[in-house]
């Protein structure tokens, strides 16, 4: 159960010290390593052993697998802080491994797909069987987000009978290896006439478990200002760069004062792109005021995986094209997300960290990006996933020719 990937550490070859020679499981050679957790941007090697990052720098040791990644970018394994991957158990769930493989993500954080009534199935049938890392925010609604599809849409926080604080505390407490926080959705779509009642309950579950909250907002009520006013340091507001209504920016293009205050207090601002929660207009206003998101996430689910969100690298590309510097875009999907999760062993290539890495390339040209209100942005760059390393192993069997194994 170490790091939420059952059985993954086991069976891995340990780094063996033979005199002065160390044998590694994998070396990524000659990539441009960008790791904001240690302010690193350099062309060098990354070596993995025993499922962990062994070291960065030139390596003379033997390795079972060596990949030449010259001309590519190597980052800590990307974390997508807002996903829905309870495939088959909830209508909005997508297939975790398939998504991770092609979108450069090594840790998917499922946010509230499951509640205490159906978390066990999520754990047994999805989390424990996935090769990619899955962590979860547990919904306080008994069956999580249970009716989210094209034609059937029932907001789970609109019926107080479904909210299950005692069960949520029990399940969260028993699954601390994979449950990182508590999820709640409030807004006209998610909580209807109940407004912020579910937030009251979620805050109590957060207190009782000592876990952070991730709060979703949509159309008011409740208002953006009201919800962030109630969040505690370390709690996450997702859908932070929503379009009007409930945008963080004023009509004049400034940042609302309640938003600035919440950031000062330590509330985490997460993107959660999804189908209805990210607008270029909002992002431009926020970035023009120097207000970058803390974390960038896709909120990938069945209704947005074929656009407008697509995946994490597309969501990151949008921020790059909006002018956010590359190292900070990467930080928003690595070290910042790990901090929000209170999992410092993730999102970093410091030696001893979990052995996850993502290999990226940046293509130049003209790329058409779309937000949730149908605005198009022609960007000049696109971040592409070229491969992933999960727990110290190259994880692209289907494209193994891409970076051919080379002899040590
Ligand atoms: Zn979501």
91-144 pLDDT, tens digit per residue, is 999 999 999 988 999 999 999 999 999 999 999 999 999 999 999 999 999 999
Q: Which run of H or E residues covers position 314?
A: helix 312-321
Please enumerate in sequence order all residues whose Cβ is within 8 A of that of 251, keeping only pairs 6 or more positions apart, or say none.
none
The three-state secondary structure class of 38 is: helix
Q: How far away, in angstroms, is 299 Cα from ligand 1 center?
A: 5
What secondary structure does DSSP assign to 86-119, as a single string? -BTTBTT---HHHHHHHHTEEEEEEESS--TTTH
pLDDT of residue 298: 98
CA-to-CA distance for 158 and 89, rounded, in angstroms? Answer: 21
Laid out side by side, the sheet with 236-238 consists of 78-83, 105-111, 133-139, 179-186, 213-217, 236-238, 268-269
Least confident of 19-33, 198-212, 286-300: 19-33
Cα separation, 157 vs 203, in Å, equals 14
pLDDT of residue 38: 97
Q: Which residue has the tokens 């909005």?
A: 92
Q: Give the H or E element holding residue 68.
A: strand 62-68
What are the φ and ψ backbone dihedral angles of 25, each rounded to 5 degrees? -80, -35
The answer to whether the CB of 142 falls within 8 A of the CB of 116 is yes
- Select from 253, 319, 308 the least CA-distant residue to 276: 308
Ligand 1 mean position to 33 CA, how many Å? Answer: 31
Can you say whether residue 30 is alpha, beta or left, with left for phi > 0 and alpha for psi between -120 and 50 degrees?
left
- Range 359-381 average pLDDT: 97
Q: What distances in angstroms separate CA 89 from CA 100, 125, 144, 148, 200, one per listed residue?
A: 19, 9, 10, 12, 27
Query: What is the structure's pLDDT at 16?
Result: 44
Q: How far is the CA of 120 from the centre of ligand 1 (A)?
A: 20
Return the pLDDT at 15.
Answer: 42
Q: How far is the CA of 207 from the centre of ligand 1 (A)?
A: 22
Residues 207-211: contacts with CB within 8 Å, 24+ apart?
208/165, 208/169, 209/168, 209/169, 209/172, 209/173, 209/182, 211/172, 211/179, 211/180, 211/181, 211/182
Residue pLDDT, tens place only, 130-144:
999 999 999 999 999
State the distance from the centre of ligand 1 to the C-alpha of 76, rounded, in angstroms.
24
Phi first, then psi: give them for residue 199, nearest 5 degrees.
Answer: -65, -40
Residue 401 is predicted with a pLDDT of 52
d(CA 269, CA 368): 26
Cis amide leading into 237 (omega within 30): no
DSSP per-residue letters across 120-166: HHIIIIIITT-SSEEEEEEESBTTSS--BSSS-B--GGG-GGGB-HH
Name every residue whose Cβ is closer than 8 Å to that of residue 84 and which is 6 or more positions away in sequence: 90, 92, 93, 94, 110, 111, 113, 145, 299, 300, 301, 302
Q: What is the pLDDT confidence band of residue 407, given thresholds at 50, 70 and 90? A: low
Q: How confident is the model at residue 62 (pLDDT cuts 50, 70, 90)?
A: confident
CA 70 to ligand 1 center in whole angstroms = 36
| Tens digits of residue pLDDT in 155-173 | 999 999 999 999 999 999 9
Q: From CA 194, how far away is CA 221, in angstroms rounded?
A: 9
Cβ neighbourhood burial of 289 (10 Å; 0-12, 13-18, 19+):
middle
Q: How far is the CA of 57 from the centre of ligand 1 (A)?
A: 39
122 C-alpha to ligand 1 centroid (Å): 16
Residue 100: phi and psi, rounded to 5, are -60, -45
Q: What is the pLDDT of residue 289?
A: 98
263 sits in the region (left: phi over 0; alpha: psi -120 to 50; else beta) called alpha
Give the Cα separation of 94 and 62 in Å (integer): 39
Separation of CA 49 and ligand 1 centre (Å) = 35
CA distance 150 to 144: 17
- Residues sharing a CB contact under 8 Å with residue 272, sequence separation 6 or more, in sequence order: 81, 82, 111, 216, 238, 239, 240, 278, 297, 298, 299
Q: Are 359 and 76 in contact (CB under 8 A)?
A: no
Q: What is the model's pLDDT at position 288?
A: 98
Task: For Cα atoms 294, 330, 5, give the angle at the middle one, nearest 5 degrees.
Answer: 90
- Dist. CA 222 → ligand 1 center (Å): 17
CA atoms within 13 A of residue 176's CA, in its CB half-sphere: 9
Q: Given a cut of 90, is residue 332 above it in pLDDT? A: yes
pLDDT digits (tens, 9 = 90+) for 227-275: 999 999 999 999 999 999 999 999 999 999 999 999 999 999 999 999 9
What tokens does 329 get?
Answer: 């875009």
Ligand 1 centre distance from Cα of residue 274 (Å): 7
């Amino acid at each position: 159960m170490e790091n939420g990937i059952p059985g993954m550490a086991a069976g891995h070859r340990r780094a063996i010290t033979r005199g002065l020679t160390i044998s590694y499981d994998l070396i990524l050679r000659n990539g441009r390593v960008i790791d904001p957790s240690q302010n690193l941007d350099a062309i060098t090697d990354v070596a993995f052993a025993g499922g962990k990052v062994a070291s960065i720098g030139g390596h003379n040791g033997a390795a079972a697998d060596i990949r030449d990644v010259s001309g590519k970018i190597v980052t800590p394994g990307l974390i997508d802080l807002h996903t829905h991957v309870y495939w088959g158990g909830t209508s909005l769930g997508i297939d975790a491994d398939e998504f991770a493989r092609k979108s450069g993500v090594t840790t998917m954080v499922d946010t509230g797909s499951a509640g205490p009534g159906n978390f066990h199935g999520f754990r047994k049938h999805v989390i424990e069987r996935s090769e990619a890392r899955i962590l979860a925010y547990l919904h306080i609604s008994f069956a999580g987000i249970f009716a989210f599809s094209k034609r059937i849409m029932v907001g789970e926080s609109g019926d107080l009978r479904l909210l299950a604080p005692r069960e949520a505390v029990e399940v969260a407490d028993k699954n601390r290896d994979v449950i990182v926080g508590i999820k709640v959705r409030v807004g006209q779509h998610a909580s209807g006439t109940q407004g912020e009642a579910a937030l009251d309950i979620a805050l109590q579950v957060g207190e009782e478990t000592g876990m952070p909250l991730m709060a979703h907002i949509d159309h008011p009520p409740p208002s953006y200002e009201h919800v962030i006013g109630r969040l505690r340091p370390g709690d996450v507001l997702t859908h932070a760069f929503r379009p009007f209504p409930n945008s963080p920016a004023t009509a004049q293009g400034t940042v609302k004062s309640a938003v600035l205050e919440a950031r000062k207090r330590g509330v985490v601002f997460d993107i959660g792109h999804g189908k209805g929660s990210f607008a270029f207009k909002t992002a431009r206003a926020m970035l023009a005021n120097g207000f970058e998101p803390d974390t960038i996430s896709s909120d990938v689910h069945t209704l947005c995986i074929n656009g407008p969100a697509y995946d994490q690298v597309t969501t990151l590309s949008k921020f790059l094209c909006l002018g956010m510097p590359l190292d900070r875009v990467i930080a928003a999907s690595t070290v910042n997300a790990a901090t929000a999760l209170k999992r410092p062993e993730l999102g970093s290539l410091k030696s001893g960290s979990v052995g996850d890495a993502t290999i990226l390339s940046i293509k130049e040209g003209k790329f058409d990006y779309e937000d949730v209100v149908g605005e198009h942005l022609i960007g000049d760059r696109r971040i592409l996933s070229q491969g992933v390393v999960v727990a110290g192993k190259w994880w692209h069997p289907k494209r193994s020719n891409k970076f051919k194994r080379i002899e040590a």
